Structure 1
Amino acid sequence: MATTLKKTTNKTDIKYPIHDLLQKRWSPRAFSDKSIEPELLKQLFEAARWAPSSYNEQPWHFIAARKEDEEAFKKLSAVMNDFNRGWALAAPVLVLGLTKTTFEMNENSNPHAGHDLGQAISHLTFEASRHDLYVHQMAGILPDKAREIYDIAENVEPMTMFAIGYKEAASQLDDGLQEKEQAPNERKPLSDILTLNAG
Protein backbone atom coordinates (compact mmCIF):
# COMPACT_ATOMS: atom_id res chain seq x y z
CA MET A 1 0.00 0.00 0.00
CA ALA A 2 1.43 3.36 -1.05
CA THR A 3 2.11 5.79 1.78
CA THR A 4 2.88 9.49 1.64
CA LEU A 5 5.92 10.35 3.74
CA LYS A 6 6.09 13.82 5.25
CA LYS A 7 9.80 14.37 4.86
CA THR A 8 12.83 13.10 2.99
CA THR A 9 15.27 13.94 5.77
CA ASN A 10 15.04 14.73 9.47
CA LYS A 11 18.44 16.38 9.68
CA THR A 12 17.67 19.89 10.87
CA ASP A 13 21.06 21.32 11.78
CA ILE A 14 23.50 20.85 8.88
CA LYS A 15 26.01 23.72 9.11
CA TYR A 16 28.13 23.10 6.00
CA PRO A 17 27.22 21.68 2.57
CA ILE A 18 27.60 17.89 2.39
CA HIS A 19 26.67 15.32 -0.24
CA ASP A 20 22.98 14.60 -0.73
CA LEU A 21 23.47 10.92 0.16
CA LEU A 22 24.96 11.93 3.50
CA GLN A 23 22.08 14.30 4.15
CA LYS A 24 19.58 11.61 3.22
CA ARG A 25 21.09 8.87 5.37
CA TRP A 26 18.92 8.01 8.32
CA SER A 27 18.19 4.96 10.47
CA PRO A 28 14.41 4.42 10.40
CA ARG A 29 12.60 1.73 12.34
CA ALA A 30 9.55 1.86 10.06
CA PHE A 31 10.27 -0.32 7.03
CA SER A 32 8.11 -1.28 4.07
CA ASP A 33 7.82 -5.00 3.31
CA LYS A 34 8.77 -4.28 -0.32
CA SER A 35 11.30 -6.86 -1.47
CA ILE A 36 14.90 -6.06 -2.41
CA GLU A 37 16.02 -7.92 -5.50
CA PRO A 38 19.07 -10.20 -5.03
CA GLU A 39 21.11 -8.35 -7.67
CA LEU A 40 20.53 -5.00 -5.98
CA LEU A 41 21.39 -6.52 -2.60
CA LYS A 42 24.65 -7.84 -4.03
CA GLN A 43 25.39 -4.35 -5.35
CA LEU A 44 25.26 -3.03 -1.77
CA PHE A 45 27.71 -5.66 -0.59
CA GLU A 46 29.95 -4.93 -3.56
CA ALA A 47 30.22 -1.39 -2.17
CA ALA A 48 31.16 -2.87 1.22
CA ARG A 49 33.78 -5.05 -0.47
CA TRP A 50 35.69 -1.97 -1.65
CA ALA A 51 36.01 -0.32 1.75
CA PRO A 52 39.53 0.42 3.03
CA SER A 53 41.00 -1.68 5.83
CA SER A 54 44.21 -2.00 7.81
CA TYR A 55 46.82 -3.86 5.69
CA ASN A 56 43.97 -4.52 3.24
CA GLU A 57 42.91 -7.40 5.49
CA GLN A 58 39.20 -6.92 4.75
CA PRO A 59 38.34 -8.64 8.03
CA TRP A 60 34.56 -8.25 7.66
CA HIS A 61 32.02 -10.92 6.88
CA PHE A 62 28.25 -10.66 6.49
CA ILE A 63 25.47 -13.19 7.02
CA ALA A 64 22.35 -11.90 5.25
CA ALA A 65 18.80 -13.21 4.99
CA ARG A 66 15.92 -12.05 2.79
CA LYS A 67 12.40 -12.35 4.17
CA GLU A 68 11.48 -14.51 1.18
CA ASP A 69 13.68 -17.25 2.65
CA GLU A 70 11.56 -17.75 5.75
CA GLU A 71 13.82 -20.30 7.44
CA ALA A 72 17.01 -18.24 7.03
CA PHE A 73 15.24 -15.02 8.06
CA LYS A 74 13.79 -16.59 11.21
CA LYS A 75 17.18 -18.09 12.07
CA LEU A 76 19.00 -14.77 11.73
CA SER A 77 16.28 -12.83 13.57
CA ALA A 78 17.02 -14.93 16.68
CA VAL A 79 20.34 -13.08 16.99
CA MET A 80 18.58 -9.75 17.72
CA ASN A 81 17.44 -8.80 21.20
CA ASP A 82 13.71 -8.57 21.89
CA PHE A 83 13.49 -4.79 21.49
CA ASN A 84 15.05 -4.80 18.02
CA ARG A 85 13.05 -7.84 16.96
CA GLY A 86 9.92 -5.82 17.73
CA TRP A 87 10.47 -3.46 14.78
CA ALA A 88 13.19 -4.97 12.57
CA LEU A 89 11.16 -7.98 11.45
CA ALA A 90 9.24 -5.63 9.16
CA ALA A 91 12.38 -5.06 7.06
CA PRO A 92 12.90 -7.27 4.00
CA VAL A 93 16.58 -7.98 4.76
CA LEU A 94 18.49 -8.64 7.97
CA VAL A 95 22.29 -8.78 8.16
CA LEU A 96 24.76 -9.86 10.81
CA GLY A 97 28.14 -8.11 10.63
CA LEU A 98 31.18 -10.04 11.85
CA THR A 99 34.85 -9.19 11.91
CA LYS A 100 37.98 -11.35 12.15
CA THR A 101 39.97 -10.14 15.16
CA THR A 102 43.36 -11.50 14.04
CA PHE A 103 45.49 -10.67 11.01
CA GLU A 104 45.69 -13.24 8.20
CA MET A 105 49.37 -12.46 7.70
CA ASN A 106 50.58 -13.42 11.17
CA GLU A 107 47.53 -14.24 13.34
CA ASN A 108 48.40 -11.36 15.69
CA SER A 109 45.52 -9.39 17.18
CA ASN A 110 43.99 -6.86 14.80
CA PRO A 111 42.90 -3.88 16.93
CA HIS A 112 41.40 -2.15 13.89
CA ALA A 113 39.00 -4.93 12.89
CA GLY A 114 35.90 -3.27 14.35
CA HIS A 115 36.79 0.04 12.71
CA ASP A 116 37.20 -1.71 9.37
CA LEU A 117 33.84 -3.47 9.66
CA GLY A 118 32.30 -0.06 10.34
CA GLN A 119 33.91 1.34 7.18
CA ALA A 120 32.49 -1.52 5.13
CA ILE A 121 29.00 -0.95 6.55
CA SER A 122 29.31 2.78 5.82
CA HIS A 123 30.14 2.04 2.19
CA LEU A 124 27.13 -0.27 2.00
CA THR A 125 24.92 2.34 3.67
CA PHE A 126 25.74 5.09 1.20
CA GLU A 127 25.26 2.75 -1.77
CA ALA A 128 21.89 1.86 -0.25
CA SER A 129 20.98 5.55 -0.02
CA ARG A 130 21.66 5.88 -3.75
CA HIS A 131 18.82 3.40 -4.35
CA ASP A 132 16.35 4.91 -1.84
CA LEU A 133 17.11 2.12 0.61
CA TYR A 134 17.71 2.68 4.31
CA VAL A 135 19.95 0.88 6.79
CA HIS A 136 19.38 0.72 10.54
CA GLN A 137 22.32 -0.65 12.51
CA MET A 138 21.78 -2.42 15.82
CA ALA A 139 24.12 -2.92 18.74
CA GLY A 140 21.41 -4.93 20.52
CA ILE A 141 22.38 -8.43 19.45
CA LEU A 142 23.09 -11.75 21.15
CA PRO A 143 26.66 -12.72 20.18
CA ASP A 144 26.52 -16.05 22.04
CA LYS A 145 23.32 -16.93 20.16
CA ALA A 146 25.04 -16.08 16.89
CA ARG A 147 27.94 -18.39 17.76
CA GLU A 148 25.54 -21.18 18.67
CA ILE A 149 23.51 -20.87 15.46
CA TYR A 150 26.32 -20.27 12.94
CA ASP A 151 29.30 -22.08 14.49
CA ILE A 152 31.49 -18.96 14.39
CA ALA A 153 35.25 -19.28 14.91
CA GLU A 154 36.80 -17.96 18.13
CA ASN A 155 38.75 -15.24 16.31
CA VAL A 156 35.63 -13.91 14.58
CA GLU A 157 33.44 -11.47 16.50
CA PRO A 158 29.69 -11.05 15.84
CA MET A 159 29.60 -7.29 16.29
CA THR A 160 26.44 -5.74 14.88
CA MET A 161 23.26 -6.38 12.95
CA PHE A 162 21.44 -4.15 10.53
CA ALA A 163 18.14 -4.07 8.71
CA ILE A 164 17.90 -2.92 5.09
CA GLY A 165 14.71 -1.80 3.39
CA TYR A 166 12.51 0.90 1.96
CA LYS A 167 11.17 3.47 4.40
CA GLU A 168 7.56 3.30 5.57
CA ALA A 169 5.39 5.75 7.50
CA ALA A 170 5.94 5.91 11.26
CA SER A 171 2.27 5.05 11.83
CA GLN A 172 3.10 1.36 11.50
CA LEU A 173 5.08 1.56 14.76
CA ASP A 174 3.78 1.59 18.31
CA ASP A 175 3.35 4.97 20.01
CA GLY A 176 6.74 5.02 21.76
CA LEU A 177 8.67 4.24 18.59
CA GLN A 178 6.57 6.64 16.52
CA GLU A 179 7.83 9.47 18.72
CA LYS A 180 11.44 8.39 18.20
CA GLU A 181 10.89 8.02 14.45
CA GLN A 182 9.61 11.58 14.07
CA ALA A 183 12.10 13.30 16.36
CA PRO A 184 14.74 15.62 14.84
CA ASN A 185 18.04 13.93 14.00
CA GLU A 186 20.45 15.84 16.23
CA ARG A 187 24.22 15.79 16.51
CA LYS A 188 26.84 17.34 18.77
CA PRO A 189 28.19 20.69 17.56
CA LEU A 190 31.19 20.45 15.24
CA SER A 191 33.27 22.23 17.87
CA ASP A 192 32.69 19.27 20.24
CA ILE A 193 34.17 16.72 17.85
CA LEU A 194 36.89 18.66 16.02
CA THR A 195 40.20 20.04 17.23
CA LEU A 196 41.66 21.94 14.27
CA ASN A 197 45.26 23.21 14.14
CA ALA A 198 45.95 22.30 17.76
CA GLY A 199 49.03 24.06 19.12
Structure 2
Amino acid sequence: MTATNPPTSKTATTAAPLHPLLAERWSPRALDPRHELTVDQLTALLEAARWAPSASNTQPWRFAVALRGSAEHAGVLDALAPGNRAWAHAASALVVAAAETAAPDGTARPWAVYDTGQAVAHLSVQAQHEGLVVHQLGGFDRDRVAALLAAPGEVMPLVVLALGRRDEGVQLAEPFASRETAARDRLPLDQLLLPLQPVAVDPAA
Protein backbone atom coordinates (compact mmCIF):
# COMPACT_ATOMS: atom_id res chain seq x y z
CA MET A 1 0.00 0.00 0.00
CA THR A 2 1.33 3.44 -0.89
CA ALA A 3 0.21 6.99 -0.25
CA THR A 4 1.04 10.39 -1.70
CA ASN A 5 2.30 12.90 0.83
CA PRO A 6 0.20 16.06 1.19
CA PRO A 7 1.95 19.36 1.90
CA THR A 8 3.27 18.83 5.39
CA SER A 9 3.94 21.30 8.16
CA LYS A 10 5.11 19.94 11.48
CA THR A 11 5.88 23.10 13.41
CA ALA A 12 6.49 22.17 17.03
CA THR A 13 4.00 23.18 19.70
CA THR A 14 6.18 24.72 22.40
CA ALA A 15 5.84 26.32 25.82
CA ALA A 16 7.81 29.34 24.57
CA PRO A 17 8.47 30.62 21.04
CA LEU A 18 11.41 29.00 19.24
CA HIS A 19 13.36 30.14 16.22
CA PRO A 20 11.61 28.76 13.12
CA LEU A 21 14.74 26.82 12.12
CA LEU A 22 14.29 24.79 15.31
CA ALA A 23 10.50 24.70 15.51
CA GLU A 24 10.02 23.59 11.90
CA ARG A 25 12.82 21.00 11.68
CA TRP A 26 11.78 17.36 11.37
CA SER A 27 13.06 14.17 9.74
CA PRO A 28 11.30 13.28 6.47
CA ARG A 29 11.82 10.11 4.46
CA ALA A 30 10.17 11.26 1.21
CA LEU A 31 13.23 12.58 -0.62
CA ASP A 32 13.54 13.92 -4.15
CA PRO A 33 15.58 11.34 -6.12
CA ARG A 34 16.52 14.00 -8.69
CA HIS A 35 17.84 16.60 -6.28
CA GLU A 36 21.58 17.23 -6.18
CA LEU A 37 23.41 19.06 -3.44
CA THR A 38 25.41 22.05 -4.62
CA VAL A 39 29.01 22.50 -3.55
CA ASP A 40 27.98 25.65 -1.66
CA GLN A 41 25.22 23.83 0.23
CA LEU A 42 27.45 20.95 1.22
CA THR A 43 30.21 23.32 2.29
CA ALA A 44 27.76 25.30 4.43
CA LEU A 45 26.53 22.15 6.18
CA LEU A 46 30.05 20.96 6.97
CA GLU A 47 31.12 24.45 8.08
CA ALA A 48 28.18 24.56 10.49
CA ALA A 49 29.38 21.27 11.96
CA ARG A 50 33.00 22.48 12.04
CA TRP A 51 32.12 25.43 14.25
CA ALA A 52 30.26 23.43 16.90
CA PRO A 53 31.65 23.56 20.46
CA SER A 54 33.76 20.71 21.80
CA ALA A 55 35.62 19.79 24.97
CA SER A 56 38.96 21.63 25.03
CA ASN A 57 38.33 22.43 21.34
CA THR A 58 39.35 18.87 20.41
CA GLN A 59 36.88 18.82 17.48
CA PRO A 60 36.56 15.01 17.44
CA TRP A 61 33.90 14.81 14.72
CA ARG A 62 34.70 13.32 11.34
CA PHE A 63 32.43 13.17 8.28
CA ALA A 64 32.51 10.97 5.18
CA VAL A 65 30.32 12.28 2.33
CA ALA A 66 28.89 9.94 -0.30
CA LEU A 67 26.94 11.62 -3.12
CA ARG A 68 24.10 9.73 -4.80
CA GLY A 69 25.26 7.96 -7.94
CA SER A 70 28.74 7.28 -6.59
CA ALA A 71 30.24 3.94 -5.59
CA GLU A 72 30.66 5.34 -2.09
CA HIS A 73 26.93 6.09 -1.84
CA ALA A 74 26.15 2.54 -2.96
CA GLY A 75 28.53 1.14 -0.36
CA VAL A 76 27.03 3.10 2.53
CA LEU A 77 23.50 2.37 1.31
CA ASP A 78 24.21 -1.36 1.24
CA ALA A 79 25.32 -1.21 4.88
CA LEU A 80 21.98 0.29 6.02
CA ALA A 81 19.25 -1.79 7.58
CA PRO A 82 16.69 -2.94 4.96
CA GLY A 83 13.99 -0.60 6.25
CA ASN A 84 16.30 2.37 5.78
CA ARG A 85 17.50 1.26 2.36
CA ALA A 86 13.86 1.23 1.22
CA TRP A 87 13.81 5.03 1.09
CA ALA A 88 17.33 6.35 1.77
CA HIS A 89 18.49 5.39 -1.74
CA ALA A 90 16.91 8.69 -2.88
CA ALA A 91 19.06 10.80 -0.57
CA SER A 92 21.20 13.36 -2.37
CA ALA A 93 24.02 12.33 -0.04
CA LEU A 94 24.62 9.81 2.69
CA VAL A 95 27.02 11.22 5.26
CA VAL A 96 28.69 9.11 7.90
CA ALA A 97 29.21 11.02 11.15
CA ALA A 98 31.95 9.48 13.25
CA ALA A 99 33.76 10.32 16.47
CA GLU A 100 37.51 10.21 16.96
CA THR A 101 37.45 8.64 20.42
CA ALA A 102 41.20 8.88 21.09
CA ALA A 103 43.80 11.55 20.36
CA PRO A 104 46.77 10.75 18.09
CA ASP A 105 48.86 10.00 21.21
CA GLY A 106 46.26 7.47 22.41
CA THR A 107 44.69 9.69 25.08
CA ALA A 108 41.00 8.92 25.45
CA ARG A 109 38.50 11.59 24.45
CA PRO A 110 35.59 10.89 26.79
CA TRP A 111 33.37 13.61 25.34
CA ALA A 112 33.91 12.74 21.68
CA VAL A 113 30.50 11.15 21.14
CA TYR A 114 28.69 14.03 22.85
CA ASP A 115 30.66 16.60 20.87
CA THR A 116 29.97 14.84 17.57
CA GLY A 117 26.27 14.93 18.39
CA GLN A 118 26.55 18.69 18.81
CA ALA A 119 28.23 19.00 15.43
CA VAL A 120 25.45 16.98 13.77
CA ALA A 121 22.84 19.19 15.46
CA HIS A 122 24.54 22.28 14.03
CA LEU A 123 24.58 20.66 10.60
CA SER A 124 20.87 19.84 10.80
CA VAL A 125 19.92 23.44 11.63
CA GLN A 126 22.02 24.75 8.75
CA ALA A 127 20.31 22.24 6.46
CA GLN A 128 16.94 23.62 7.53
CA HIS A 129 18.17 27.11 6.64
CA GLU A 130 19.27 25.84 3.21
CA GLY A 131 15.82 24.36 2.51
CA LEU A 132 17.18 20.84 2.92
CA VAL A 133 16.28 17.99 5.25
CA VAL A 134 18.31 15.59 7.34
CA HIS A 135 17.19 12.18 8.55
CA GLN A 136 19.60 10.60 11.03
CA LEU A 137 19.93 6.82 10.81
CA GLY A 138 21.11 4.51 13.56
CA GLY A 139 20.11 1.36 11.70
CA PHE A 140 23.26 0.28 9.88
CA ASP A 141 26.07 -2.26 10.12
CA ARG A 142 28.76 -0.36 12.04
CA ASP A 143 31.55 -2.78 11.24
CA ARG A 144 30.84 -2.51 7.51
CA VAL A 145 30.65 1.27 7.61
CA ALA A 146 33.83 1.47 9.71
CA ALA A 147 35.58 -0.64 7.06
CA LEU A 148 34.57 1.93 4.44
CA LEU A 149 36.22 4.80 6.31
CA ALA A 150 39.75 5.65 5.29
CA ALA A 151 40.63 6.94 8.72
CA PRO A 152 43.61 6.36 11.01
CA GLY A 153 43.20 5.91 14.73
CA GLU A 154 40.06 5.17 16.69
CA VAL A 155 37.14 6.52 14.67
CA MET A 156 33.69 5.26 15.64
CA PRO A 157 30.77 5.58 13.17
CA LEU A 158 27.80 6.95 15.12
CA VAL A 159 25.10 7.78 12.60
CA VAL A 160 24.43 8.02 8.87
CA LEU A 161 22.76 11.22 7.72
CA ALA A 162 20.41 11.05 4.75
CA LEU A 163 20.56 14.54 3.21
CA GLY A 164 18.36 15.91 0.49
CA ARG A 165 15.23 17.82 -0.36
CA ARG A 166 11.75 16.67 0.61
CA ASP A 167 9.43 15.80 -2.27
CA GLU A 168 5.72 15.96 -1.49
CA GLY A 169 4.97 13.72 -4.47
CA VAL A 170 7.14 10.77 -3.48
CA GLN A 171 5.11 7.68 -2.65
CA LEU A 172 6.34 5.78 0.38
CA ALA A 173 5.30 2.26 1.31
CA GLU A 174 3.84 1.60 4.72
CA PRO A 175 4.69 2.00 7.50
CA PHE A 176 6.72 4.97 6.25
CA ALA A 177 3.82 6.77 4.54
CA SER A 178 1.90 7.00 7.83
CA ARG A 179 4.97 8.12 9.73
CA GLU A 180 5.56 10.89 7.20
CA THR A 181 2.24 12.55 7.99
CA ALA A 182 1.96 11.66 11.70
CA ALA A 183 2.03 14.52 14.18
CA ARG A 184 5.30 15.21 15.92
CA ASP A 185 5.39 14.44 19.61
CA ARG A 186 7.70 15.08 22.55
CA LEU A 187 7.58 14.44 26.28
CA PRO A 188 6.22 17.37 28.30
CA LEU A 189 8.94 19.71 29.48
CA ASP A 190 8.33 18.94 33.16
CA GLN A 191 9.17 15.28 32.53
CA LEU A 192 12.63 16.25 31.32
CA LEU A 193 13.63 18.20 34.42
CA LEU A 194 15.46 16.47 37.26
CA PRO A 195 15.41 17.79 40.82
CA LEU A 196 18.71 18.46 42.55
CA GLN A 197 19.31 17.22 46.07
CA PRO A 198 20.09 20.02 48.53
CA VAL A 199 23.59 19.84 49.95
CA ALA A 200 24.66 21.52 53.14
CA VAL A 201 27.61 23.82 52.55
CA ASP A 202 29.95 24.83 55.38
CA PRO A 203 30.29 28.62 55.04
CA ALA A 204 33.63 28.43 56.79
CA ALA A 205 35.10 26.02 54.25
The answer to whether residue 110 in structure 2 is matched with residue 111 in structure 1 is yes
Change in Cα spacing, 1:45 to 1:195, as seen in structure 2 (3 Å) is same
Aligned CA RMSD, in angstroms, stands at 2.1
Distance apart, 1:79 and its partner CA: 2.7
**Corresponding position of 1:36:** 37
State how far apart, in whole Å, the 2-side matches of 1:188 and 1:198 are: 23
**Corresponding position of 2:66:** 65
1:170–1:178 contact (8 Å) kept in structure 2: no
Change in Cα spacing, 1:21 to 1:115, as seen in structure 2 (3 Å) is same
The answer to whether residue 26 in structure 2 is matched with residue 50 in structure 1 is no
Distance apart, 1:102 and its partner CA: 1.2
1:35–1:92 contact (8 Å) kept in structure 2: yes
State how far apart, in whole Å, the 2-side matches of 1:170 and 1:156 are: 38
1:146–1:152 contact (8 Å) kept in structure 2: no
State how far apart, in whole Å, the 1-side matches of 2:60 and 2:80 are: 22
Distance apart, 1:9 and its partner CA: 2.1
Change in Cα spacing, 1:196 to 1:5, as seen in structure 2 (3 Å) is farther
Change in Cα spacing, 1:117 to 1:100, as seen in structure 2 (3 Å) is same
State how far apart, in whole Å, the 2-side matches of 1:160 and 1:142 are: 10
Provide structure 2 residue ranges, at least 5 long, that are not aligned to the other structure: 199-205
Distance apart, 1:72 and its partner CA: 2.2
The answer to whether residue 14 in structure 2 is matched with residue 14 in structure 1 is yes
1:62 alignment partner AA: F
**Corresponding position of 2:77:** 77
Matches within 5 A, 1:82-93: 82-93=82-93
Provide structure 1 residue ranges, at least 5 long, that are not aligned to the other structure: none
- The TM-score with structure 2 as length reference comes to 0.86
State how far apart, in whole Å, the 2-side matches of 1:198 and 1:168 are: 49
State how far apart, in whole Å, the 2-side matches of 1:171 and 1:107 are: 47
Which contiguous aligned blocks of 4+ residues in structure 1 show a shift greater than 6 angstroms? none
Aligned pairs, how many? Answer: 194
State how far apart, in whole Å, the 2-side matches of 1:25 and 1:63 are: 23
2:25 alignment partner AA: R
Distance apart, 1:196 and its partner CA: 6.6
Distance apart, 1:47 and its partner CA: 0.6
Distance apart, 1:175 and its partner CA: 2.4
State how far apart, in whole Å, the 2-side matches of 1:171 and 1:76 are: 22
SS at match of 1:173: strand
State how far apart, in whole Å, the 2-side matches of 1:153 and 1:144 are: 15
Change in Cα spacing, 1:118 to 1:173, as seen in structure 2 (3 Å) is same
Distance apart, 1:153 and its partner CA: 4.1
2:66–2:95 contact (8 Å) kept in structure 1: yes
- The TM-score with structure 1 as length reference comes to 0.89
Bigger radius of gyration: 2
SS at match of 1:98: strand
2:97 alignment partner AA: G
Once the two structures are superposed, residues 105-152 of structure 1 have per-residue CA deviations (whole angstroms, 9 ceiling, x without a partner) of x53221211111100001111011011111000111111102323354
Change in Cα spacing, 1:84 to 1:170, as seen in structure 2 (3 Å) is farther
